[in-house]
């Protein structure tokens, strides 16, 4: 997952999930150079779900997800193959 902001652009890879005091804590993968923790509260989940389910673009993305997944993986595979040929 890519996180882009004015402060930093981070390629976040999921690591360990933890539950503590009503929060879901998502740790970044240990091999990442910048260790990160994301704290998700129950209110965060409800807010995100409400906004996502009320947005037609999210529904279109979910309906087209199998197509997007296949297309994404093909592009990624082609990109890696092109890098290997160029190296």
Strands 2-4 and 9-11, bridge-based pairing: antiparallel
How many structural domains does the chain have? 2
Kindly report, residue by residue over 7-50, the tens digit of the pLDDT: 878 788 899 999 999 999 999 999 888 888 999 999 999 999 99
Kindly report, residue by residue over 46-74, the tens digit of the pLDDT: 999 999 999 999 999 999 999 999 999 99
Residues contacting 32, CB < 8 A, separation 6+? 11, 12, 13, 15
Report yes or no: 41 and 48 within 8 Å, Cβ to Cβ: no
The secondary structure element, H or E, covering residue 75 is helix 65-86
Based on the domain organization, do 31 and 1 belong to the same domain? yes
Residue 50 in domain: no
* Structural domain that includes position 10: 1-42
Residue 81 in domain: yes
């Amino acid at each position: 997952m890519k996180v882009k902001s004015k402060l930093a652009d981070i390629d976040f890879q999921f690591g360990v999930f933890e539950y503590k005091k009503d929060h879901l804590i998502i740790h970044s993968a240990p091999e990442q150079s910048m260790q990160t923790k994301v704290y998700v509260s129950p209110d965060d989940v409800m807010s995100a779900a409400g906004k996502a389910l009320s947005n037609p673009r999210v529904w279109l993305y979910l309906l087209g997800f199998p197509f997007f997944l296949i297309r994404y993986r093909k592009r990624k595979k082609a990109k890696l193959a092109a890098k290997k040929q160029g190296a």
